[in-house]
Amino acid sequence: MGRMGQKAVAGPRRLLRRARVPLRALGLAIALCLLSFCEVGAHDHLEEPVAVVVNPLPQEALETLLEERQRGPEEGASVSAWVTKRLRGNNSLSEIFRDSYYDSDIKRLNPTCAVIGFLLRTVPVCPVVRQLEKYFLGTPPSLNQFFANTLVPSPEMNAYLPKPLAVYPSMLPDIIDEEVADAERHTIYWYYAMVALAWRNMADILRPEEAIAAGRPAQTFEAYPGWHLADGWETGRLIESQSGPFAVTMAKNRHLVVLMRGSTTDEDWAANFKYPFCANESTAAIGIPGRVHQGFLEYLIAMAPLLDAEVERIKPRRISLAGDSVGGAVSVITGAYLARKYASGLDSKVEVIAIGTPRVGDDVFSSFFREHVNGRSPAFLGSGIRFRGKAVGFNMVWEIGDFVVQVPWDCFPVPDCVGGSTETYMYSYHGGLIKITPRMMPNEDGWMEEANWLGDFKIGFKGMVATHMCSYWCWATRGLPPPYEGSKCYFPSDIKHVGPATDICLSGA
């Protein structure tokens, strides 16, 4: 590469360094934002920018924007002032953040829509996704980051939790009323605690080396003493999926609970990337209308015979499913399946508590779910693009929160990075969202910083553990007696304020 070429490459890097944007943070943020839970294949069919954004920029404005982006500030000009002007001013770049992406309240809660819509239009997608696959499959996260010191419900809590979820008379709304969410907070904690305990036990079977490193026995399901999950509940059976043990059943007084874990194995991460919709025939074969995420559907297809056998054995009058991340997504699809098949024998709608879950299907599926399932989906969300005070240096904040709950996007069609087709996929939110923000946390400033992807966000799996896992634990334990309240709310930097005995998020990292 010649000297002029080296300067051309170095120029943008110097610009970002002077603008005080962490290069690693920006790179991973863009990579994650382009993911959409795609499976990365060997397809290079999207080498040119693809126009997939609803209400795209006028061509003239887009050309001006790209020209400014490449040219940068004049020699000697303030980089921060140049960036701030174009993010704040009345010019073409401000169009990135306009409200035309947000045609509903649920989309307005998605802090990534407008920015990612712009990126999907102006940069190649699939090459970035291929790099992301290597990152996730090559460096699986240590689950001990979250499981360390996890507090399970006390016998007193097990005596009155979980309570039935409030029933909406007709369709499940996009967003759950704040009063209803507050009343159900501790029930959601109970389900999350059971998921975390079952997940840890399944992970110890799947990854025994981590169990041994953490001082836990690596045993089978039958011999594991920890499978007694809660007093008064019968631990039923371990449900296998294509990626190994994935769900556990519990039962009490003909109330069947199914707990689904999050991503643990390479097979789980590969399934996360299979975002194209399945064929209509696949969902029709198990009685679900519409189309859903292919990777998530594969879990249900593998587990359906065992789930059916548990329903026949227990003959429940009430069914509740709970899961985290991919487990939450699969619980949404499974909830629709069980509601379709067994609703007539139940006293109330199937309940689904899907924590930190991505979107799972199209508008046909989502409409069915809202009508026939009583769902709750807690989501930790930031406030999007904003500026802190006056422009001193680079003060833009991109407060995202939990990235996982915002993909695959429902604000524009997502292109196919898997099958090599020209098809795009329009996801639709399944309803029941519980909005959680940094302002609801006891240490608001710490969580605002964790949610900001242009600040000191802990890039990598530590940051994901914070926003994608600890945030829900912190919110759900509010109002519980010590030591539960405040559990996993704080970070190592907070020690001087709260004391070393506090259950710190990331303490097992």
**pLDDT category of residue 290 using cuts at 50, 70 and 90:** very high
| Amino acid at site 146 | F
Give the least confident one: 26-40, 278-292, 318-332, 458-472.
26-40
CA distances for 78 relative to 54, 73, 82, angstroms: 34, 7, 6
Q: Report the phi/psi class of residue 408: left, alpha or beta, with left for phi > 0 and alpha for psi in -120 to 50.
A: beta
- Residue 304 makes CB contacts below 8 A (sequence gap 6+) with 286, 337
Q: Report the phi/psi class of residue 115: left, alpha or beta, with left for phi > 0 and alpha for psi in -120 to 50.
A: alpha
pLDDT in tens, 386-431: 665 544 444 667 788 898 898 888 877 887 877 777 888 999 999 9
pLDDT reading at 8 higher than 80: no
pLDDT higher at 191 or 54: 191
One DSSP character per residue, 116-181 reads HHHHHHHS-SHHHHHHHHHHHHHSPPPTHHHHTTPPPPPHHHHHH-SPPPPPPSSSPPSB--HHHH
Contact 249, 338 (CB under 8 A): no
Question: For residue 257, how many other CB atoms are within 10 A of its CB?
Answer: 27
One DSSP character per residue, 475-500 reads HHTTTSPTTTTTTT-B-GGGHHHH-T
Q: Positive or negative, the Cα torsion across 307, 310, 316, 321? A: negative
Q: Give the integer Cα–Cα distance in Å for 60 and 73.
A: 20
pLDDT reading at 483 higher than 70: yes
pLDDT in tens, 10-68: 333 343 343 344 444 444 444 444 333 332 222 333 233 323 233 334 445 444 544 54
**pLDDT category of residue 82 using cuts at 50, 70 and 90:** very low
Contact 301, 288 (CB under 8 A): no
pLDDT reading at 272 higher than 70: yes
**pLDDT category of residue 373 using cuts at 50, 70 and 90:** very high
Spatial CA neighbour of 118 closest among 97, 89, 139:
97
pLDDT higher at 117 or 457: 117
